[in-house]
Structure formats: structure tokens, C-alpha cells
Structure 1
Amino acid sequence: MRGNLTKSMGDLVHLRYLSLVGSAFEGLPQSMGNLICMDVLDLQGNLHVRVTVPNVLWKIRRSMHLHLPFNFAIKEKF
């Protein structure tokens, strides 16, 4: 099953570690910018799926480790 992650992901503001290794997701919500306490964000999902990453990950100031998928695109907020 493929799809986008839910918008309520941004409500988990105290989340420090998120790994989506092997997951079949195609996009992340803009609310990911709310995860200001994130230390490790591993978005390496399925190698054959193009993942849309929002241009809000720069808001995660504490991020020490960011692993992006092999095939990704930046989504600008309109």
C-alpha cells in the first residue's frame, strides 16, 4: 500500500527519532516542519518509489542525522 503520511505527524513535536526504512510512502506532509525536537530522521523508504519531501525540513533545528531517500523530489509550498 502506497500513500502519503498523515498530516497529524506534525503534532508529535517531542518526537526525537523516526525511521521509515522499507516503508512504501510517496510523500511527507508540510507539518513535518513542526518536529523541532527531531534528532534522527531516516526517510529511506522503498528504492523504487519517488518520495516528495516538503521544503520545511530546515525548520528541524536539532536534526543531527538526516537520511533522504535515493529517489526524492523537493515540494515547494504554494
Structure 2
Amino acid sequence: MFLIFFFSFFQFIQLQLDPASSNFLPANSNEEITQSLTVTNTQHGQKTLAMRMRIAYKVNNQDKLEQGQVNNFPPGL
């Protein structure tokens, strides 16, 4: 099984991505992998922050793809 998480921002967003806590998650594990990111809206007050995401994974040997967009970030970001 694999899991790939993609995300993207508009070009006016500056992104700083910290390293992931791991790159391997054992099957049937209660462990987690974390990764922090910092975004800066260079057009704050003019354009709102939005993030697009896509998650690709495999279940029972079938490829799956989920995607969406997050628009409801707290005001002031």
C-alpha cells in the first residue's frame, strides 16, 4: 500500500515546508507521520488563502484518488 499527499497554492502564496517525521508507516500501525508547513499570503487583504489537495493511495490492489480544496482558513491569514 502507498499513500501520496499533494497540495498546491496559488502563486502569490509563499510556502516553507519542513521535513516529514518519517517516510515509512508500517501496515496496521497506530503510528503517524507529521509534516509542518508555513504559508505566507503576499497579497493579504486582496486575495484569500486557498489550498488544493490530492491524495493518491492503493486499496486491495486498486488505485484511489481523492481531491478537494480548502477555502475556509481563519480570517487574517
Give the TM-score range, shorter chain: under 0.3
Relative contact order: is structure 1 or structure 2 higher (C-alpha 8 Å, sep ≥ 6)?
2
Greater per-residue helix proportion: 1
Judging by fraction of residues, say which structure has more strand. Answer: 2
- The structure that has the greater radius of gyration is 2
Alignment TM-score, normalising by the size of structure 2: 0.23
* TM score, norm. by length of structure 1: 0.23
